[in-house]
Amino acid sequence: MSKTALSKFRQAVLQIPLWLYFIVSVYPLFWMVSYSFKNNDEIFVSNPFGLPTHFRYENYINAWTQFNIPRYFLNSLVVSTISTLFILLLALMFAFAVARMRWRFRSAVRTYMIIGMFMPLQVIMIPLAILVRDFHLTNTYGALILPYIAIGLPFSSMIFYGFLIAIPKEIEEAACMDGANIYRLFLKIIMPLALPAIATVAIFQFLNNWNEFTLAYILISDENMKTLPLGLLFFQGSYSTDWGAMGAVMTMASLPMVLVYLFLSEQVERAMTVGSAVKG
């Protein structure tokens, strides 16, 4: 065997684990989309793993028209978008304050924020439900938006802190010599440099808020305020379930996340290497 053929053979062998990982990662998405075009018989008996023998587009029509999917979709979009925007803004401001500024108790405040990452959701459920009731937020967007912001802040702040702490001080000093105050420094210098980290946190938090079920199940009981994960419960009947329509809903629910990732994927990839680039 020649050296060229041997090199190609080695490359092919080395790529086998990557192809296996690719198949394992992509197949659940393929399976979800394919079973959204099937009926219950195909899903469970005749063709559970293959392509649909007949593409039943009526599953999407039934899911969209016979159930309150547009309302659930709108509620999830409003709650997830507003929560993510506030998390990004507040976490970035907090990280800037503790990473780039010198003031008393900043280490204690950062430690307090880190503790929030280890607080189990089950511990705060009852106090949170009481607070939401006392503030008359039950069955409103605020009942979900405010807890989502509070829960998302610790992790996001630490991500931004790790990113901002690596930015050379010379950049700030140069901006100050040019006459930039603290607000201009944050808006014109820090925020553009932090775009890769912002994109990464945005994807992570939007995904968490979009798929969150436990708090929504506890704090929302009004039909018109329910989010998409809650809406999936209505597809499970006492005697039969339209699994094809449920697959259609899950496929539609996944589309915003796929679009968000495709839109921000370049920034996420930059986040993996921007630390060394900034230092260089």
* 17-26, 89-98, 155-164, 257-266: range with lowest mean pLDDT: 257-266
| Rounded distance between C-alpha atoms, residue 237 and residue 220, angstroms | 21
Mean pLDDT along residues 183-200 = 87
Mean pLDDT along residues 160-182 = 85
Calculate the CA 199 to chain-centre distance: 11
192 token code pair: 């553009």
Question: What local confidence, expressed as pLDDT, does residue 53 receive?
Answer: 82
Per-residue pLDDT tens digits for 84-97: 999 999 999 999 99
Q: Which amino acid is at 29?
A: L
Q: Which amino acid is at 157?
A: S
Question: What local confidence, expressed as pLDDT, does residue 150 receive?
Answer: 92
CATH architecture designation of domain 67-240? Orthogonal Bundle (1.10)
| Rounded distance between C-alpha atoms, residue 164 and residue 192, angstroms | 11
176 token code pair: 């100050």
Q: Which amino acid is at 279?
A: K
Question: What local confidence, expressed as pLDDT, does residue 86 receive?
Answer: 96
| Rounded distance between C-alpha atoms, residue 177 and residue 52, angstroms | 65
The rounded percent of the chain whose pLDDT value lies above 90 is 16
Mean pLDDT along residues 174-191 = 86
Tell me how far apart the terminal alpha carbons of the chain are, to the nearest angstrom: 44
Looking up tokens 């929560």, which residue turns up? 83
Question: What local confidence, expressed as pLDDT, does residue 240 receive?
Answer: 59
100 token code pair: 């780039």
Per-residue pLDDT tens digits for 94-120: 999 998 888 888 889 988 888 888 888
For the entire predicted model, the pTM comes to: 0.79
Per-residue pLDDT tens digits for 46-67: 877 878 888 888 888 887 877 7
- Indicate the pLDDT class of residue 172, thresholds 50, 70 and 90: confident
Q: At residue 238, does pLDDT exceed 80?
A: no
Calculated CA dihedral for residues 126, 127, 129, 130, nearest 10 degrees:
120
